[in-house]
Amino acid sequence: MTVKTIAQQVRETLADALGVDMARLTDEAQLVRDLGADSMDTIEVVMDLENALDIVIDDTDLPGDSATVADLIRLIEQAKEKQHAAD
């Protein structure tokens, strides 16, 4: 899975979960401030991505209130790299 594919999957998952237009999902958009996510939304998005991409994200790595779309993409990329290294 390429970085571009991961980024697209993250954006599609965010758009579906938060009901926001894809155009709003810029790298700099903050999940809470700009996209209206709350902590439960963030957890649900991460769980959806874990299931869709067959990865595991440690609870201590969950994005905080100031996390951006780019931060979430990086988190997913890192989880995929860890999974690939373990395989």
Q: Domains of the chain, with CATH numbers? A: 3-86 (1.10.1200.10)
Indicate which residue of 16, 27, 38, 65 is catalytic.
38
Active site residue 38: yes
pLDDT higher than threshold 90 for residue 73: yes
44-67 pLDDT, tens digit per residue, is: 999 999 999 999 998 888 888 899
pLDDT higher than threshold 80 for residue 37: yes
CA distances from 77 to 17, 20, 21, 34 (A): 20, 22, 23, 22
What is the pTM (predicted TM-score) of this model? Answer: 0.90
Q: What is the rounded CA–CA span in Å between residue 64 and residue 85? A: 26
The pLDDT value recorded for residue 40 is 93
What phi and psi values does residue 70 have, to the nearest 5 degrees? -60, -40
The pLDDT value recorded for residue 32 is 95
